[in-house]
Amino acid sequence: MEKIGKLERVIFHNKENGYTVGVFETEDEQFTVTGSFHDPNPGVKYRIVGEFKMHRKYGEQFNAESYEEVIPDDADGIRAFLAAGNVKGIGPKMANLIVDRFGKSTLDVLEQNPEKLLAIRGIGPKSLKVIAESFGETIEFTKISFSLRELGITMAQAVRIYKLYGGESLEVVKDNPYCLVEDIYGISFRKADEIAMKLGFEEDSEFRLESGVAYVLENFAQSGSTYMPKEQLLESTVKLLDVGSEQVEECLVQMIFQGKLQTDTIEETPVVYLYGYYLAEQSVAWHLAQIKEAHIDPLSADLDNLIQDAEKNRSGGIHLSEEQRGAVRQALTENVCIITGGPGTGKTTIINTIVYILEQLDIKVALAAPTGRAAKRITETSGVEAMTIHRMLEYVYSEDEHEMNFGRNEENPLEEKAVIIDEASMVDLMLMEGLLKAVKPGTRLIIVGDADQLPSVGAGNVLRDMLRSEYIPAVRLHEIFRQAGESLIVVNAHMIQRGEYPYANESNKDFFVMRRSREEDILNTVEDLFRGRLQNYYDFIHSGYDIQVLTPTKKGLLGTIHLNEVLQGVLNPPSEEKREKKSGSRIFREGDKVMQLRNNYMMEWKRDGETEKGKGVFNGDMGRIEGINPESGRVSVRYDDRVVVYENEDLMELELAYAITVHKSQGSEFPAVVMPMTWFPPMLMTRNLLYTAVTRGKNLVVVVGSEDRMHAMVDNNRIDERYTGLEYRLRQIDFGNTIG
């Protein structure tokens, strides 16, 4: 549907992504228009294409899929166009002076001979430059966006492309449409391939080959691997591009010479890295070696006496087992040490003891974890402020380099003489590299985590690789302390880890299996639990936030997508008192529990009660929608003590979080966990996935579904094997030390 008229008023405009809400008026109607506009100007005549849609909260709106500015061709129209402020440097008075002098030729003068404006009183060289650039940009974007739309690029994408490439947008896209995959979020390789075909690119174009290779490697990295066996890469790329393996081989050689890829041989297998992951693995191994081999100041008091003092005076007195004492000794005498163990094995007690001793010795300690929730939990249990690793490393935007960087690095290392990292299984390769660069040799580095949990969401298998290499001194905890006599969660977690079937349904315990066979019955039971059944029997303040559904997959009746729709209806149904916002097929409502889906280093946040602001929202962060602005459509989300405002285009990075995947739950702990149990793809039905889900529950775990399926997960000890080279590189260091 096409409408021609005037933009009467702009209600909201986001300069970053172009999203606009305005009032549009044609000859016979007035309505609200929404869509992506580069630089919307009231009073300007537009031709918009789209359709009317009914918003349940704001009524009928015209969703503009594309637009173009209708430039007036008569003197009065030009006068009104300029007087409306559509060209910077020209107001109503100046518009009259210009049109009085040039009449119908005014726009031709602005575009082709702007220097003639110098004849107008009040226009000098500086103001002429502003006017010419502003008018040129208006005309330029109109022409560029029209051409981009002919290639199948949406207006929202066209706005982002123009923001990045400016006047060269069309040339950049025509020269190499595959650059959009890397540069423009939301444009996939498939989309770029469609554009390239419209532009007449050949199937064996070097741009297509390079983009295809990078796409295959990046997809592989998203599953956690840092490299790919060369033969597998060749096979996958040939299948994707439908070209010969010789052509892909030649492309690999070219990309290696360009510094985009790196080849290596690991355990006699030729492999290929994206260069950034190769450098990161080398860097992590090198920095670990530097920290491990550096001179470290000895403790100024007898360690056994320090441990006894901690047992006597910390938190009213504690008693460490010999295993725990050994972990404390090793952590304080080694330069770098790993402490690993399952739930209830005393990792938190050990951390607290180490912190107490370091404070008694006046040694400054930094305590951090990968997520805000994990850091908050450490603070509550230790009494010492913990923070996220990103915050500790002062993650900031560099104006010089136009990218996010760690403020703490080799040139500006952390000042603390001891650094403790908890929940280390969540730390991926790139974050570990940033951390190690900031740890000055001579600092004690203590890494704590559960190696049996699922590995990090990002690429790498850092904790497991370090342990397997046997290069880093490590303590494995086996004795169970926390709630060992009362908690079946703790007991069952260790049973699962050993390959034994868990106990369930014991009176006054915390682990239950509600046996159901049909998926519809499982779903109905999960709903019933959230309608108050659990809240009536347990001290849960708010079932929507205290109870967390964990499931292996996004798809299907018991996947996160469908479960979130169902649970949103149960826990946060539509209400006249709650504003809501539609984004694609999803509806976000005030009060909804939500999760961030990707690392966004540019997203701004503000901390409660402080003037402190910062940037960075990270994959897996969970929060709650505090408010939705009815005019702008902005969505405000609270993440613990930070508030982040999402614009319309940012909502693709957000999803409901009443149900989340087990992978996304890492580093979190919930008062109660509910897990549907049915047939899921075999690659997901693994022992360590079940173990991770169970260990997320603090007070209660309820499995709803087939007990046989749960037992099958225990039997399936298929480890999420990733292709990572850190273990190999650390072993090479150790081997080099041995033979040296």
Known binding-site residue numbers for ATP: 344-348
Phi first, then psi: what are they for 286, rounded to 5°? Answer: -65, -45
Give the ranges where 529-679 is alpha helix by DSSP (H).
534-537, 543-546, 560-571
Containing H/E element for 234? helix 230-241
User: 251-287 in b/e burial notation, b at 16+ Cβ within 10 A?
Assistant: bbeebeeeebbbebebeeeebbbbebbbebbbbbbeb
Tokens 């930094």 -> residue:
366
Q: Enumerate the known binding-site residues.
A: 344-348
- Report the distance separating Cα 345 and Cα 325, nearest Å: 13
Helix, coil or strand: residue 425: helix
CA angle (227, 232, 238) in 5-degree steps: 120
Question: Burial, 122: exposed, middle or buried (Cβ in 10 Å; 0-12, 13-18, 19+)?
Answer: exposed
- Report the distance separating Cα 379 and Cα 387, nearest Å: 8
Cα separations in angstroms, 209 against 42, 177, 200, 417 = 45, 12, 15, 49
Query: Shortest CA distance to 422 belongs to which of 361, 364, 468, 379?
Result: 379
Q: Pairing mode, if any, of strands 622-628 and 444-449?
A: unpaired
- Report the distance separating Cα 455 and Cα 424, nearest Å: 9
Number of H helices, E strands in the chain: 27, 30
Give the ranges where 396-459 is alpha helix by DSSP (H).
429-438
Q: What is the DSSP letter of 167?
A: G
